[in-house]
Structure 1
Amino acid sequence: MPDPSPFAVPTRFDGASDRVAVVIPGVGYSPARPLLHFARSVLLQHGWTVQELWWQIPDGFSQFTVDDRISWVGRQVTEAIDAEAGACRLLVGKSLGSLACDIAADRDIPAAWLTPILTNGHVAAALQRATESTLLVGGSADKLWDSRIAASLPHDVLEVPSADHGLELADDAAGSVGVLREVISRLDSFIGSLSR
């Protein structure tokens, strides 16, 4: 269970190697939710050790400035990466977690960003300068996704038609399961490419 404190609590799943992937949640999208749960499963199948961050959003977070949110996420993610003493070689983040795009860019860490907040200038600029392998996954019906920005970036992009910020299709449960399958398949290929 997540700690009630406003700071990240790591949960570790050991794979067969010293390659560590840090999984970063969204505001209300914990590592137990489908996209991140299956991302962990794929990582373990590829022999990665997985560190999941579980965080409790601080009281008053909705009143935080954008810079305060970036700083808060940055502290949590930096602490998790530093705890791995150089073994962190991949970030997998959802939504709010994408505010750590600059950390991936600055530290040359490959990343998979599920529904990154492309409407945020900080995120878009960090993705523009990221040189390591990067996967971006978003839905065309997500107000925080920008198709034009995604297409302009030098990264692997999967845009799901009509998918919302949860990468689900409105009023289409079976279709949403199909989207989950497509996203996890793409993530599997991306993670596999990092092992080569």
Structure 2
Amino acid sequence: MPDPSPFAVPTRFDGARDRVAVVVPGVGYSPARPLLHFARNVLVQHGWTVQELWWQVPDDFMQLAVEDRIAWVERQVTQAVDAEAGACRLLVGKSLGSLACGVAADRNIAAAWLTPLLSTDHVVRALQRAEAPTLLIGGSADKLWDSRIAESLRHDVLEVPSADHALELADDAVGSVGVLGQVVSRLERFIGSLGR
């Protein structure tokens, strides 16, 4: 296994050696947060080995040009995928992690993107050429989600009415827990459909 990037520290949960999923965080949304935590649980229950990326985004990250941000994310994800020596068959990413859509498309890796950055041309173009099974989940109140674009793609889509970029409902904690359940159920179906 190559040395991890100074910004990404992988954590592994072992299951099937030939079925590895890489969980890719957002800017401030680590694998410990609910959406990615339960995604990992679903993967483990289905017998996948899970590699979680824990990264620290550079302090000046938001001042970088979009191309440099994409390159940074792709570098982290490519290192994680390459470390699995061909066994990585799924990416599960949140928000910023969706800048790695091109890696999934180029390598024909299935993907589940939670709140993908559909406002970014690079992400949309990569999703347009992706041929592996792909799930897109976003909220109608998320300014970085575009319902029209999501529906124009030939992928599985779940849009949660009134949900924001965290896939939560404003001022509605109980309703937000219900959204989490809905998202986890859709992930369960999608991951189950990938077979062995």
What range describes the TM-score normalised by the shorter chain of this pair? over 0.9
Aligned to 1:169: 169
Whole-angstrom CA distance in 2 between matches of 1:194 and 1:69: 30
1:138 aligned partner, one-letter code: G
Whole-angstrom CA distance in 2 between matches of 1:39 and 1:71: 25
Aligned to 1:106: 106
1:7, CA displacement in angstroms?
A: 1.3
Whole-angstrom CA distance in 1 between matches of 2:180 and 2:17: 27
Whole-angstrom CA distance in 2 between matches of 1:132 and 1:108: 5
1:6, CA displacement in angstroms?
A: 5.2
TM-score by length of 2: 0.96
* Runs of 5+ consecutive residues of structure 1 not aligned to the other structure: none
TM-aligned CA distance change 1:6 to 1:143, over 3 Å: farther
User: How many residues are paired up?
Assistant: 192
CA displacement, residues 35-78 of structure 1 (integer Å, 9 cap, x when unaligned)? 00000000000000000000001121110110000000000000
Q: CA RMSD in A?
A: 1.0
Aligned 8 A contact 2:17 2:87 in 1: no
| Greater percentage in strand | 2
Runs of 4 or more, structure 1, over 6 Å off, are none
**Structure 2 counterparts to residues 49-128 of structure 1, below 5 A:** 49-128=49-128
TM-aligned CA distance change 1:87 to 1:16, over 3 Å: closer
Whole-angstrom CA distance in 2 between matches of 1:142 and 1:173: 17
Whole-angstrom CA distance in 2 between matches of 1:80 and 1:62: 23
SS in 2 for 1:26: coil
1:18, CA displacement in angstroms?
A: 2.3
Aligned to 2:195: 195
Whole-angstrom CA distance in 2 between matches of 1:41 and 1:16: 14
Aligned 8 A contact 1:6 1:57 in 2: no
* Runs of 5+ consecutive residues of structure 2 not aligned to the other structure: none
2:86 aligned partner, one-letter code: G
- Equivalent pairs: percent with the same residue? 80
Task: Note if 1:149 corresponds to 2:138.
Answer: no
